[in-house]
A and B are shown apart, each in its own frame.
Chain A
Amino acid sequence: MKENAGPAATPLLHVDRVTVRFGGLVAVSELDLDVPEGSIVSLIGPNGAGKTTAFNCVSGIYTPSSGSVRFRGKRLERAFTPGTILRALAVGLLTGLLFAAAAVDVDRLWMAVVKRGMITGEPFTVSGAMERLRGYFRSELAIDQMAGKWRVVSADGSDVLAIKRDLGEAKLVRDALQAKVTARRTGPGTVPDATDLNQRDDGAAPLVALPPVKEEVLDRLAGGKSRIRWRGWLGLLAGLLLGTAGTLAVWQRGRRSPHVVARAGISRTFQNIRLFSSMSVLENVLVGLDRTIPGGVFSMLLRTPKNRRDEAEARRQAVAALEFVGLSGDANRIAGELPYGDQRRLEIARALATGAKLILLDEPAAGMNPSEAGDLAGLVERIRDRGVTVLLIEHHMNVVMRVSDRIAVLDHGTKIAEGTPAEVRRDEKVIEAYLGGEG
């Protein structure tokens, strides 16, 4: 935990000309702020000066309108990796397949591939199914059964071309008609003629009489191949584009979400306490420890020995964190029932439990009496001594002056002064901002 670097070349947190606008209102304007590692930096200023806005910017709740926030020299964003693209493409492919299934009429596809195989009574094989699948996309004629009779039908089952009592006869008719349809697609000559198929080797009479089929029907069947493929590809493409673009858009929007910032090593407390008030005190800290507990859903469901050890270890750490802030006696109380000051300390314990290197404390001493505030100042110093850097917003001046290494003063969204406590105390602009200086 001790990581007291000397004169750090890059500060732990580097806020560079950050501006936050809400509509026409400028909440923070061109804020520069450096927080060196191992220090306590305070952000003070009158109410509405933009301190919490600056905090929200650092912790990823707001995205600055301009400027950048760097933590250890890196921007606090999820990195754009090949995995991002791959994931988006995978989602896109899935959407594409869904769209394609809808476009080629999955109901008829199913009938053609799965049910027709059962109807003709052949044993189901994967290769047979694949053959029928190809047949569907080639719009080939197929054989179906209805009311005990065999029917020669179009692949999607919407056209019935012939009805035969005998399966063998139906097959012959199918092949003959199929040859006619294929001839229409590719031109005669490349495929056996219908009459070729329908003749015996010894040149005797045709095996079956071909039923009369309208020319338009044959034309339609010949065109069906390109139509169904066209629909399938179009659906696939549309789904692919939509799915990929959508995934990337969502990724972009969540790029700077608070949990990304928290995982980078910045944790915070809130001005209006945001505990999980119906959970127990211990559980609150355990939520803070969430990321340090390894294991997924299955080890949890099976409750493997390793999972038990990990949970027990997390509990030990949580208890240690509670001891650190002085709440170990209240571990099993409901967080919402704690007195106000204890809730603030619990928030600090929870934030520390995340293993953060930088902790943002938003008015931790609000509503405390001088003696409690003094205790809190001691706690802040002990946090620093653990090797955790602190950025503090506080109104209790004796706390600020006692603990801070550096102080930055904000007024109306702009930084009006920065320096050691002694420097800031003497600064005329600061005095003016606090006491009013119109006169």
Chain B
Amino acid sequence: MATNQAPKTSSPPASPDGPWGFLAQRWELVTLAVLAVAPLVIPALGGALGGQVTNLFIYCILALALNVMVGYTGLVHLGIASFFGIGAYVLAILTVPMYPFQIGFLAAAVIAVLVTAGTGLALGAPTLRLRGDYLAIVTLGFGEVVKVTLRNLEQITGGMKGLNPVPPPGAGVTLAGIDLGKEFAIDPRWFYYLALLSLAGVVLGMRRLENSRLGRALVAVREDELAAQAMGISATRVKLAAFAMSSAVAGLAGCLYAASLSTTADPNAYDFNRSIMVLCAVILGGLGSIPGTLLGVAILVGFDTVLAPWADSWIQQMNVNPKGLSYLSFSGWRLAIFGVALVLVMRYRPEGLIPSRRLAAELHEGGSGS
């Protein structure tokens, strides 16, 4: 990872001054290093907390996938969870002992990613001519279609039961005397590292995308489709590429999700709520910004899956809520806090917590600009 940074000339001028310049420029490396060392230092990550943080990484991958569509290309996508689900189910079908395929995790993940990318193309091709709200409605509908299909194809997907058990990655593979499957099943840190590694790979890919021909074309289409076309860019092709990439990465997240839970869970796990949650995270963090997206997920999902349960158990320990009243538990206020936080961010920082350089300029155009 470290050796493959973009050459200095190609990265836009950050401000490399001062002792913090290095940290600001190479925030990924610093964060990665901290996260990589954390499980060795914090024993709690070997327990339930490790699973929660792994979940957080998976959500980060999903949010980065959505960011390709919503952030870079400016296409409103309300059905990202469906691709997440397709990835999870394809992986499960290819690996569960119930079916005869039972191929390894890696091969299954590759196929699942290809399938989700293909599905994205199939959804994108007929609908790309739609703009704004209309595309949002199509993706919203697609999300529901996928959910209901997963529920109704009972023979294939197991209906509401879902498919399980999804074997852990590396099941049956012994490497240097270590039975990988067993290790994955016992120690959540294996999954922690797998998810972290995948996330790092996705972040690297996104970084390269941003500074590449395709990344510029995506932004150009977002900013002014007609002008982009007048430059010889095929808007259809660019949008299809965005659809495919976004779906593929979401599919990857789905694979990790199913493998880490060792079940696909029921189809309702891939419903509209999840799509919206991820969308909120992307918007909160900053559309089109990688660090922003990651921060958004860390705050929203982290709040929901890590902080809220912890606060609940703490309240219980303090015994302030012996009757179990919902307004005295932290989770009872979860959604309210959510809403208020979103409203505040949209009021005071519409470009998100860590805005992308490009979008900040777009939103403040005419105001502070020129």
Proximity string of chain A (266-286) to chain B, C-beta cutoff 8 Å, 1 when within and 0 when not: 011010001111111001001
Please give, as numbers and ranges, the residues of chain B lying within 8 Å of A91 by CB-CB distance.
125
* Contact in complex: A311, B370 (CB < 8 Å): no
Interface set, chain A 130-167, CB cutoff 8 A to B: none
Please give, as numbers and ranges, the residues of chain B lying within 8 Å of A61 by CB-CB distance.
226
* Contact in complex: A262, B229 (CB < 8 Å): yes
* Contact in complex: B230, A287 (CB < 8 Å): no
Q: Smallest Cβ distance from A111 to chain B, in angstroms?
A: 4
Complex Cα distance, B121 from A94, in Å, reads 12
Complex Cα distance, B181 from A167, in Å, reads 35
Q: Smallest Cβ distance from B2 to chain A, in angstroms?
A: 14
Of B153, B211, B234, most A-chain CB atoms within 10 Å: B234
**Contacts A297-B214, A300-B208, A312-B9; A279 near B223 (Cβ below 8 A):** yes
Q: Smallest Cβ distance from B77 to chain A, in angstroms?
A: 19
Interface set, chain A 223-276, CB cutoff 8 A to B: 246, 250, 254, 257-259, 262-263, 267-268, 270, 274-276
* Contact in complex: B156, A110 (CB < 8 Å): yes
Interface set, chain A 276-318, CB cutoff 8 A to B: 276-280, 283, 286-288, 290-291, 293, 295, 297, 300-301, 303, 307-308, 311-312, 314-315
Residue B277 CB within 8 A of the other chain: no
* Contact in complex: A278, B358 (CB < 8 Å): yes
Complex Cα distance, B233 from A314, in Å, reads 16
* Contact in complex: B236, A115 (CB < 8 Å): no
* Contact in complex: B155, A262 (CB < 8 Å): no
* Contact in complex: A111, B155 (CB < 8 Å): yes
> Which of chain B's residues has its CB closest to A247's CB?
B125
> Which of chain A's residues has its CB closest to B231's CB?
A288
* Contact in complex: A287, B12 (CB < 8 Å): no
Residue A47 CB within 8 A of the other chain: no
* Contact in complex: B235, A259 (CB < 8 Å): yes
Residue A178 CB within 8 A of the other chain: no
* Contact in complex: B231, A279 (CB < 8 Å): no
Complex Cα distance, B156 from A301, in Å, reads 34
Complex Cα distance, B360 from A118, in Å, reads 57
Please give, as numbers and ranges, the residues of chain B lying within 8 Å of A350 by CB-CB distance.
231
Complex Cα distance, B245 from A291, in Å, reads 20
* Contact in complex: B99, A118 (CB < 8 Å): yes
Partner of A283, one of B129, B216, B233: B216
* Contact in complex: A300, B212 (CB < 8 Å): yes
Proximity string of chain B (220-255) to chain A, C-beta cutoff 8 Å, 1 when within and 0 when not: 100110111111111110000100010000000000
* Contact in complex: A118, B100 (CB < 8 Å): yes
Complex Cα distance, B366 from A277, in Å, reads 11
* Contact in complex: B231, A262 (CB < 8 Å): yes
* Contact in complex: B208, A336 (CB < 8 Å): no
* Contact in complex: A106, B245 (CB < 8 Å): no
* Contact in complex: B220, A336 (CB < 8 Å): no
Proximity string of chain B (346-367) to chain A, C-beta cutoff 8 Å, 1 when within and 0 when not: 0000000000001111100100
**Contacts A257-B229, A293-B213, A300-B212; A278 near B365 (Cβ below 8 A):** yes
Please give, as numbers and ranges, the residues of chain B lying within 8 Å of A124 by CB-CB distance.
100-101
* Contact in complex: B233, A277 (CB < 8 Å): no
Residue B126 CB within 8 A of the other chain: yes
Q: Smallest Cβ distance from B98 to chain A, in angstroms?
A: 7
Partner of B98, one of A118, A315, A354: A118
> Which of chain A's residues has its CB closest to B154's CB?
A107
* Contact in complex: A300, B236 (CB < 8 Å): no
Q: What is the size, in residues, of chain B's interface with A at 8 Å between Cβ atoms?
A: 54
* Contact in complex: B361, A287 (CB < 8 Å): no
Please give, as numbers and ranges, the residues of chain B lying within 8 Å of A49 by CB-CB distance.
none
* Contact in complex: B227, A270 (CB < 8 Å): yes
Of A312, A334, A339, most B-chain CB atoms within 10 Å: A334
Interface set, chain B 62-116, CB cutoff 8 A to A: 98-101
> Which of chain A's residues has its CB closest to B156's CB?
A110
* Contact in complex: B155, A286 (CB < 8 Å): no
Residue B205 CB within 8 A of the other chain: yes
Residue B219 CB within 8 A of the other chain: yes
* Contact in complex: B13, A276 (CB < 8 Å): no
**Contacts A91-B125, A107-B155, A295-B213; A290 near B231 (Cβ below 8 A):** yes
Please give, as numbers and ranges, the residues of chain B lying within 8 Å of A428 by CB-CB distance.
none
Residue A59 CB within 8 A of the other chain: yes
* Contact in complex: B10, A258 (CB < 8 Å): no
Complex Cα distance, B154 from A35, in Å, reads 66
Complex Cα distance, B341 from A186, in Å, reads 72
* Contact in complex: A277, B361 (CB < 8 Å): yes
> Which of chain B's residues has its CB closest to A266's CB?
B230
* Contact in complex: B219, A290 (CB < 8 Å): no
* Contact in complex: A290, B12 (CB < 8 Å): no
Complex Cα distance, B126 from A303, in Å, reads 31
**Contacts A115-B155, A279-B219; A300 near B209 (Cβ below 8 A):** yes
Please give, as numbers and ranges, the residues of chain A lying within 8 Å of B7 by CB-CB distance.
308, 312
Interface set, chain B 1-42, CB cutoff 8 A to A: 4, 6-7, 9-10, 12-13
Complex Cα distance, B93 from A106, in Å, reads 15
Please give, as numbers and ranges, the residues of chain A lying within 8 Å of B4 by CB-CB distance.
303
**Contacts A61-B226, A259-B235, A312-B9; A278 near B362 (Cβ below 8 A):** yes
Proximity string of chain A (86-108) to chain B, C-beta cutoff 8 Å, 1 when within and 0 when not: 00000100100000000000111
* Contact in complex: B214, A287 (CB < 8 Å): no
Please give, as numbers and ranges, the residues of chain A lying within 8 Å of B219 by CB-CB distance.
276, 278-279, 283
Residue A332 CB within 8 A of the other chain: yes
Q: Smallest Cβ distance from B12 to chain A, in angstroms?
A: 6
**Contacts A274-B224, A278-B361; A300 near B214 (Cβ below 8 A):** yes
Q: Smallest Cβ distance from B67 to chain A, in angstroms?
A: 16
Interface set, chain B 122-160, CB cutoff 8 A to A: 122, 125-126, 129, 152-156
Residue A114 CB within 8 A of the other chain: yes
* Contact in complex: B208, A303 (CB < 8 Å): yes
Please give, as numbers and ranges, the residues of chain A lying within 8 Å of B12 by CB-CB distance.
280, 332
Q: Smallest Cβ distance from A9 to chain B, in angstroms?
A: 27
Please give, as numbers and ranges, the residues of chain B lying within 8 Å of A267 by CB-CB distance.
230-232
**What are 21 A-B pairs at a CB distance below 8 A?**
A106-B153, A107-B152, A110-B153, A115-B98, A257-B229, A258-B229, A259-B230, A276-B228, A279-B216, A279-B219, A286-B213, A287-B217, A291-B231, A300-B212, A301-B205, A301-B209, A303-B4, A312-B9, A334-B369, A336-B361, A337-B361
Given A258-B230, A270-B230, A276-B227; 19 other pairs, CB 8 A cutoff: A59-B230, A91-B125, A107-B153, A115-B155, A118-B100, A258-B226, A267-B231, A274-B227, A276-B219, A276-B223, A277-B223, A278-B219, A279-B223, A291-B233, A301-B209, A311-B213, A339-B370, A351-B230, A354-B231
- List residues of chain A with CB under 8 Å of any chain B CB: 59, 61, 91, 94, 106-108, 110-111, 114-115, 117-118, 124, 246, 250, 254, 257-259, 262-263, 267-268, 270, 274-280, 283, 286-288, 290-291, 293, 295, 297, 300-301, 303, 307-308, 311-312, 314-315, 332, 334, 336-339, 350-351, 354
Closest 9 CB pairs of A and B: A124-B100, A262-B232, A278-B362, A278-B361, A258-B229, A274-B227, A111-B155, A300-B212, A276-B223
